Amino acid sequence: MQLKIALLGGDGIGPEVLTESVKCLQAVAETFDHSFTYSKALIGAAAMKKFRTPLPDQTLEIALEADALLFGTIGTLQYDNNPSSPIRPEQGLLRLRKELGLYANIRPVKMFPEIIKNSPLDRALVSGTDFEIYRELTGGIYYGEKKLSDDGTVATDICTYSEKEISRIAHKAFKAAKKRRKKLTLVDKANVLETSRLWRRVVKTLSESYPEVTLECLYIDNAAVQLLLNPTHFDIILTDNMFGDMLSDQGSVIIGSQGLLPSASIGEKHCMFEPVHGSYPKAEGKNKANPVASILSTALLLGHFGMKEESRAVIAAVRKSFKKKIVTPDILGSSKYGTDYVGDFIADHIND
C-alpha cells in the first residue's frame, strides 16, 4: 500500500514523539512491503514564529493532499501565560480539525497488563479496562462565536449543536458498539444544558435503529466518577467536544500515564492521528517524553487503512517494550531510557 502522510509535529514534545512514530511506520513499511512518504509542515506556535499564523496556507495544503496526518501536540507556556494574545497556537489545531472535517475523535482506553502496576487505581478495579470514547470534535463550545465586550469586562462563548452534527458521530459510535460489547453510554449534562437535551433526544431516537446496542445516559459529573470507579463497565462512550476533552484525559489516569493514550480523528474525507496528551513544555528537548501515545496513534492509522496485521505488530512491539521495561520515566521512575531509545526499541521489534 502507498500512503502520503503529513507530519505536523506542532509544539513542545510533539516533534520528538513524531520522530519515533515515523521510525515505527518505516519499520512497518519495510516489514510488510508498503511505501509511506512523508511531508512535514509547521503548525501552532512553531508556525507562528515563522509565518505569524498558527495554520499557514502551505500546511493546510499539505494536510489536504495527504492520505493521513500524524499530529504531535500544541501549545507553549508563552501563550498559556498570555491569555490576551489575539492569535494563539491552538487556533491552528482547531481550524485544521474544522477544515478537514474531522468530526469524530476516537480515543481508545485499554489497560496493558504489563504495566498495570503503574495505575494509581486499585488493580482489581482497572484490570480489563477496554473502552473507547467517541468525542465530537468540530462543534460545540469550541467553535461557537466568542465575544469580548469593548471594555473587556464581559466574555461570552456560545455552544451550539445541530441534529446533524450529533447524529453523524452517534451513528459511528453505535456501529462501533455493535462490533464490540454492544453498550453505548451517552455522557451529557441534560439536566442543565439545552444542547445536552438535544443530544439525548437525537441519540435516543437513533438507538431504535440499533436494537442490539444498549443505551445508557450519564451526567458528566457522575460519569467522571464512574469512569474511575468502574472503568470496566464502559464499552463505547459518546459525548460532546468539551466533555470529551476532559473525560478522555481521565482515561490516562486509569492506565497509569498521560504518555500512553492515542487517538484517531476521522471525517468523511480526511483522517488524523494524534496523542491525547498535551505539549508538556517542561520536557521539550529533554529526550524524556513518552513516545508511546504517538506510536499507538500510528497503529490506529494502520488499522484505519485496513492494515490489521501491521497495526497489531506495532501494538505487540509496544507491549514488548513494556515487558522488557524499555520505557520512559513516566512509566518507571528509575528508568534511564530516553524517547529515542524507546522509539528505536519499538521500531526494531516490529518485524519480530
Ligand X SMILES: CC(C)[C@H](C(=O)O)[C@@H](O)C(=O)O
Q: Which is nearer to a second copy, 176 or 215 (CB)?
A: 215
Q: Rule CB under 6 A: is residue 251 a binding residue for ligand X?
A: no
Length of the chain: 352
Q: Which is nearer to a second copy, 23 or 189 (CB)?
A: 189
Interface residue with a second copy among 49, 87, 113, 158 (CB under 8 A) is 158
Residues 65 and 228: their CA atoms lie apart, in Å, by 40
Residues 148 and 90: their CA atoms lie apart, in Å, by 18
The least CB distance from residue 250 to a second copy, in Å, is 5
Burial 110-123 (b: 16+ CB within 10 A, else e): bbbebbbebbebee
Residues 98 and 102: their CA atoms lie apart, in Å, by 6
From 32, 29, 30, select the one nearest 4 (Cα to Cα).
29
Residues 348 and 352: their CA atoms lie apart, in Å, by 8
Paired with 109 in beta bridges are: 131
Q: Rule CB under 8 A: is residue 154 a binding residue for a second copy?
A: yes
From 297, 348, 339, select the one nearest 320 (Cα to Cα).
348
Q: Rule CB under 6 A: is residue 209 a binding residue for ligand X?
A: no
Dihedrals phi, psi of 310, to nearest 5 degrees: -60, -45
The least CB distance from residue 134 to a second copy, in Å, is 17
Q: Rule CB under 6 A: is residue 44 a binding residue for ligand X?
A: no
Q: Which of residues 44-83 bind a second copy (CB under 8 A)?
A: 75, 79-81, 83
From first CA to last CA, the distance across the chain in angstroms is 21
Residues 315 and 352: their CA atoms lie apart, in Å, by 12
Q: Which is nearer to a second copy, 64 or 193 (CB)?
A: 193
Q: Which of residues 80-99 bind a second copy (CB under 8 A)?
A: 80-81, 83-84, 88-90, 94
Q: Rule CB under 8 A: is residue 278 a binding residue for a second copy?
A: yes
Q: Which is nearer to a second copy, 258 or 297 (CB)?
A: 258
Side chain identity at residue 340, one-letter code: D
The least CB distance from residue 44 to ligand X, in Å, is 9
The least CB distance from residue 154 to a second copy, in Å, is 5
The grid coordinates listed for 102 are: 474531522
The least CB distance from residue 281 to ligand X, in Å, is 12
Q: Which is nearer to ligand X, 277 or 288 (CB)?
A: 277
Tell me how far CA of residue 318 lies from CA of 220, 270, 310, 321, 327, in angstroms: 32, 26, 13, 5, 9
Q: Rule CB under 6 A: is residue 14 a binding residue for ligand X?
A: no
Q: Rule CB under 8 A: is residue 334 a binding residue for a second copy?
A: no
Q: What's the DSSP call for residue 233? A: G
Q: Rule CB under 8 A: is residue 134 a binding residue for a second copy?
A: no
Q: Rule CB under 6 A: is residue 93 a binding residue for ligand X?
A: yes
Interface residue with ligand X among 9, 56, 75, 251 (CB under 6 A) is 75
Q: Rule CB under 8 A: is residue 159 a binding residue for a second copy?
A: yes
Q: Rule CB under 6 A: is residue 343 a binding residue for ligand X?
A: no
Q: Rule CB under 8 A: is residue 20 a binding residue for a second copy?
A: no
Helix (H) or strand (E) holding 14: helix 14-32
Q: Rule CB under 8 A: is residue 141 a binding residue for a second copy?
A: yes
Burial 208-233 (b: 16+ CB within 10 A, else e): eebeebebebbebeebeeebbeebee
Q: Which is nearer to ligand X, 191 or 209 (CB)?
A: 191
Q: Rule CB under 8 A: is residue 253 a binding residue for a second copy?
A: yes
Residues 215 and 184: their CA atoms lie apart, in Å, by 5
Interface residue with a second copy among 116, 228, 316, 332 (CB under 8 A) is 228
Q: Rule CB under 8 A: is residue 332 a binding residue for a second copy?
A: no
Q: Which are the catalytic amino acids?
A: 142, 189, 221, 245, 249
Residues near ligand X (CB under 6 A) are 74-75, 90, 93, 191-192, 221, 245
